Each structure stands twice: as C-alpha cells, then as structure tokens.
Amino acid sequence: MKTLFDKIWDAHVVTTVEDGPTQLYIDRHLCHEVTSPQAFAGLRSRGLKVFRPERTTLTADHNIPTMGQDKPIRDQVSRFQVDTLAKNAADFGLIYYGLNNPKNGIVHVIGPENGYTQPGMTIVCGDSHTSTHGAFGAIAFGIGTSEVEMVLASQCILQTRPKTMRINFEGKLKENVSAKDMALYMISQLTTGGATGYFVEYAGKAVRNLTMEQRMTLCNLSIEMGARGGLVAPDETTFNYIKGREFAPKGEQWEKALAYWQTLKTDEGAVFDKEVTFDVSRIKPMITYGTNPGMGMPIDGTIPQLDEIDEAGKISFEKSLKYMGFEPGEKLEGKPIDYVFLGSCTNGRIEDFRLFTEYVKGKKKADNVTAWLVPGSWKVRKQIEVEGLDKILEEAGFELRQPGCSACLAMNDDKIPAGKYAVSTSNRNFEGRQGPGARTILAGPLVAAAAAVNGKITEP
Amino acid sequence: MEKFQTITSTYVPLPIENVDTDQIIPARFLKATTREGFGDNLFADWRYDKEGNPKPDFVLNNPVYSGQVLVAGKNFGSGSSREHAAWAIGGYGFKVVVSSFFADIFRNNALNNGILPVVVSEAFLSELFASSNKNPKATVTVNLQEQTIVNNETGNKESFEINAYKKTCLLEGLDDIDFLLSNKNKIEAFEKQREYSY
Ligand code: SF4
C-alpha cells in the first residue's frame, strides 16, 4: 500500500546511493533569471551541454518592471541579468518566454496555464514556491542553483526521501473564506517549521471542492511551514483543467495519460508519518501580524501576549512586533493601511482577480491606499481584459500593471516604503521582503479588496 | 570544492529564531550573475543602516565576536531557495552553521557549497549562547570525521547526523555533478525502461 507521494517518487528513482540520497529523474525543469546564471556558468566552465533541453523552460519574472515592459529595462544590473537568461536560452537551445512574449509570466503561473504541469511528474525550479505545481498531483519542489546545474547537466537531482504527512481538510468553507485563508490558518497552527522534512498530501472533502487555482494557492504555501512540497491527488477537476492546454497530451496520448493519471492516488490503508485534520468551517478570513507566515490570526483576532510565547521564542517575537509596529494583545481590525498588493504566484491568477473585482465593483479605492494589481502572467492579464474586469477596476480607481513577481520580493522598483503597511496576497511577510522596512500583512484577495476600498483592515 | 577540515574556532552568536533567507541576503542583492561578493551583504538589513553605515548593535559589527562558525536560533534558513544565502555565509568566511533546526533547502544549499550545517539539541544550543555571552572568545571544535561538536568552554560534546554520502563529499571536496555525470548510463537506461514518460 502506497501513498500518492510514494508512487510518484518510486517511478522516478534512477538509483539510490548507498547510505545516501536518491538519484531522482526530473520530468520538468522551470528556470528564471535570478537563480540560474551561476548554473549556466557552471555548465560552461565544465564544458557541458544541457542533457535534455526539451525538458527545461525559461521565463523572466523575478527581476522585471511591471510598467513599460516594451522599453529596455532601466536598471542596468537587472537588464544584464535578464539578457543573460536570454543568451543562456539561445546558447543552450532552450525554450524562453522573455518580456512581452504572450506566454511570459511568473514561473509557477505559466507552468500550469500552458499545460507543462501534469499529474505524476517530478517538477523542479530554483524557487521555493515550486510546490504550487503539486496541485496537479506532481512532486514539485524548489531547489538551489547548484541543483539547477545538476538538472541541466543530467536531468537528475540527488534528494533524501522526505517523510510524508497528510493534512485533511474537512467541512465546508464560509462564504468569505478562500484557499489562502485555509493555508494561513494551517501554517498558524503548524508553525513555519512544522512540516520541515515532510512532503504533504492535502486531502479531504474541502480540498476536493477546491478549484485548480485554489489548490495551487494551497500547495504554493506548503513551503511556508517548511514542507518540501505539497500535493493533491488528481481528479476530474484536474483533468478538465489540463485538457486542451498547449503542452498537454493530445488524442491517443491523452487517453494513455488519463489512464495513468487515474491510478495516482493514495491507496486505502497507506500510512503517513504524520496526519493532521482541520475543520474548515471554523476558519475565518485570516491576516498575519508578524514577520513570518506562521504568525497569523483571524481578522478579528488579537495578537498573542508575551507570556503566551515560549521562552526561546520571546526575543524573536518581540523583535518581530517591534518591526511591525504592533503591541502584544493588540487587535488589528480597523487599522489603517497604506498599500495593497494583489498578485504573485500565490494569488495572481484569474480567479483571484475575479474575487477582488467582484468586491470592489461599484465602490471606490480609498484615497490613503496605493494599490498594485499585478497579474501573474500575460495570459491572466488578457483574460482580465476579455472579461472586462479591467474596466470595473478602473472605474473603482485601480490600475492594472504588467505581469511579474513585483512586490512579492521587491527586486524591481515595486518596493513598499519603509514603515508603511501593505496588505499583500503574496506569501512572505519577512522583514524587508517587500522592500527595506516594509511591513507586510498577508491575506487573501478578498481581505485585500476590503482593505483597498476601506483604507483599513476590515472583514470582507 | 575545498576539503572540509576539523575546525576549532571562536563563533558568532545569533540567538534569533526563524532567520529566513531574506534576512541572510535580501532580494535586492540577487541581481548578480556570479557567485562572488555576497559576503559583504550578509544580513545586510540588520548589519547596515539606510546610509550603509554599520549598526553597532548587530553582532557582526561587534568586534569582540568573530570566527568561522555561526551559531543561530531554531529553524535557520527558512523561506526562499536562493543559494545566494549559502554563498553569502561562505563568502563572509563561515564554514559551519550551528542551530537546533534547519530548513531543508538551506541545508542542501549549504552542503553543496562546502558549508557544514550542524544540528545540536536545544540545550546544547542555549549553552553555546550562554558561553559566548560570558566569554566572547569561547570556542567550539567541529570534527566532521567523528561527527562531533565540542563546546570548549564547558567541555560538553554532542554528536550530529549527516548522511554518509554527503560526509564523503565534504571530506573529499567532491560535488554532486561529478557523481551524476558518472551515472549517465543509468540515466539513459532509466529513460528507456520507464512505463510512462512525459
Ligand atoms: S511571485 Fe514571489 S514567490 Fe512567486 S515565484 Fe515570484 S518571487 Fe517567488
């Protein structure tokens, strides 16, 4: 009896090093400009080619502007990094979706939307949120640059087999609660290191009821509790999403793939190293108050008191609240905010824009709020326009930007100024993540919309 | 990669939990296309003020603390997969990071760059912080061959885990790519016999 994870892992073992890691075959490799240049330089210095070029796809996303992408990138160092990616693609014969390419976008958004991401695959990328692709029933995880070089050179990677954990979500979600809230709730319960060493399978009725995009949001955040990755067994929802996408199997291949994909589930009676169950009907819209994603609470909750924190964690807790400008025991509902960021590989897909737009429709953006609405890809942006959401947003006082990682990691100009509060749909509220001194409050798209319209933290 | 030798060194204490890779090296320093130079920006936002002047209250700016070993609070290296974090730590001159818990990707990245992550018990860790508090010139000895770490102030010793393969790589200065490339036949054989291939 095997878990879904075991089935996929076992199907990719090339060999196992005695007393050491497993050599795992990688089906799909995604690459971006920030974590790859040193890997390509490594290949050059060893005189190597890319072993299986058709399995690697490149996109520029982390370090690009979200306005004026048709013009050369102003920041010289950033431009050089993006140019280096283009040159590496050309030199090594790899597919590359550069700026203004209709398939350009955030690496974890374009993988699924173009049909690259499929059940049963092993997928890696030099970015920790590669866990997103697990939503399709794939083993997908982030790697470092040395490992990027390994995959380019050999289509393999050396990995120690992680332990397995199953997280069951039972019950029915409240109206104004999304997958992001489920994830923030889960991380607040398990802490940022709570799943370190594990690969998580998300199961239960509430997960089955999620759309593919919501499953992506949930799997995306697996890394924020330390998990190597998270996956969901593929089902009709998955197959319907994939069918017809550009790189999805077609015709006879599709039938063959489908037959295989339908075997991809955890056998009844298979044992996990750890199992946790949550009742989603108790989850409220969530926000974070601190500087790691585990420091989350219901939107109407209060920040813990100092004496609720264990001894070793006190220094970090106080440091974190000081950085955020919050007090222990404080309530954040009603607190004025300065910025709203809708975007990232966590919440930058069309459903996120629909949710946000639906809320702000007929209302007006608050004057004290600067809002950055950044679609996850050009395809998402196109779809926004097709559905006329851009018009509704414009009427409400919002402006749509061009795709990229943007303020999720603030490598480009989209930096939240020091001391300012940003309600962000991204994934990390680390000190300085959205710019030096920036104060991030993580939330789902609905809470972000409510904050943008009301100028303060309010329950949507 | 350099061969890893037994180290006896003073250490830099950083008793903060959940130090994430965005703190180790903030994103705005990730624009480089080489591996060099990251050490100068290690912990940049804790280390320098807005004008780029050293903040005197941060431990790396305190001249009494130095050494090849960084001792940090629980759950070190969480967050982003950026290997730049390991390059920054190595570039600064650390060869060992000691903590009671490491995030997975960081641990791999460190090992791939010849930096040894040493997991110790919470008790051993707090003793290390206490020792350096009393005596900033306190030292530790890290012996990879024996897989032990000694707090030379108290004489207490702990063993740590590392898988045999990685241990050999570090001791002999080998890297994974050499290993993988020597396995090309196996990779090709795997591709042929796969039941389902994408
Ligand atoms: S949006 Fe943020 S988390 Fe996602 S790939 Fe970009 S930088 Fe990483």
**pLDDT one-digit tens code per residue, B120-154:** 999 999 999 999 999 999 999 999 999 999 999 99
In this complex, do A127 and B80 lie within 8 Å of one another by their Cβ atoms? Answer: yes
pLDDT at B193 over 90: yes
User: Which chain B residues contact residue A34 at CB under 8 A?
Assistant: 30-31, 82
User: Among A8, A54, A87, A150, which would you mutate to test the B interface (most chain B Cβ atoms within 10 Å of its Cβ)?
Assistant: A150
Find chain A residues with C-beta within 8 A of B120's C-beta.
Answer: none
In chain A, whose CA is at the least distance from the CA of B83?
A144
Q: What is the pLDDT of residue B174?
A: 87
Q: How many contacts does A have with B, using Cβ atoms within 8 A? A: 199
Which one of A20, A155, A316 has the shortest CB-CB distance to B165?
Answer: A20
Task: State the pLDDT at residue A209.
Answer: 97
- Tens digits of per-residue pLDDT, A346-357? 999 999 999 999
Mean pLDDT of chain B: 95
Rounded CA gap, A169 and A219, in Å?
13
What confidence score (pLDDT) does residue A63 get?
93
pLDDT band at A13 (very low <50, low <70, confident <90, very high): very high
Are A193 and B181 within 8 A, CB to CB? Answer: no
Has residue A308 got a pLDDT over 90? yes
- Residues of chain B positioned with their CB less than 8 A from the CB of A14: 183, 186-187, 190
pTM equals 0.95
Mean pLDDT on A84-93:
98
The answer to whether B185 contacts chain A (CB < 8 Å) is no
Q: What is the 3-state secondary structure (H, E, C) of chain A?
A: CCCHHHHHHHCCEEEECCCCCEEEECCEEEECCCCCHHHHHHHHHHCCCCCCHHHEEEECCCCCCCCCCCCCCCCHHHHHHHHHHHHHHHHHCCEEECCCCCCCECHHHHHHHCCCCCCCCEEEECCHHHHHHHHHCCEEEECCHHHHHHHHHHCEEEECCCEEEEEEEECCCCCCCCHHHHHHHHHHHHCCCCCCCEEEEEECHHHHCCCHHHHHHHHHHHHHHCCCEEECCCCHHHHHHHCCCCCCCCHHHHHHHHHHHCCCCCCCCCCCCEEEEEEHHHCCCEEECCCCCCCEEECCCECCCHHHCCHHHHHHHHHHHHHHCCCCCCECCCCECCEEEECHHHHCCHHHHHHHHHHHCCCCCCCCCEEEECCCEHHHHHHHHHCCHHHHHHHCCCCECCCCCHHHCCCCCCCCCCCCEEEECCCCCCCCCCCCCCEEEECCHHHHHHHHHHCECCCC
Q: From B162, which residue of chain A is nearest by alpha-carbon distance?
A: A20
pLDDT, tens digit, 9 for 90 and up, residues A136-165: 999 999 999 999 999 999 999 999 999 999
- B75 by DSSP, 3-state: which? coil
ipTM: 0.91
Give residue A407 CA to ligand 1 midpoint distance, Å. 9
Interval B28-66: pLDDT, tens: 999 999 999 999 999 999 999 989 999 999 999 999 999
Name the band, by pLDDT with cuts 50, 70 and 90, for residue A311. Answer: confident
Q: B166 touching A, CB under 8 A?
A: yes
pLDDT tens digits for A29-51?
A: 999 999 999 999 999 999 999 99
Q: Which residue, judged by its Cα, is nearest atom 4 of ligand 1? A: A345
Q: Do B180 and A158 touch (CB under 8 A)?
A: yes
What separation in Å is there between the alpha carbon of B63 and the centre of ligand 1? 37
Query: B32 alpha carbon to ligand 1 midpoint, in Å?
Result: 18
> What amino acid is encoded at A183 in this protein?
A
**Distance in Å, alpha carbon of B35 to nearest chain A alpha carbon:** 7
Question: By the CB < 8 Å criterion, does A139 face chain B?
Answer: no
pLDDT digit string (tens) for A365-415? Answer: 999 999 999 999 999 999 999 999 999 999 999 999 999 999 999 999 999
Structure confidence by residue, pLDDT tens digits, A173-223 = 999 999 999 999 999 999 999 999 999 999 999 999 999 999 999 999 999
Pairing of strands A28-31, A122-125: parallel
| pLDDT higher at B174 or B157 | B157
Q: Tell me, what's the pLDDT at A18?
A: 84
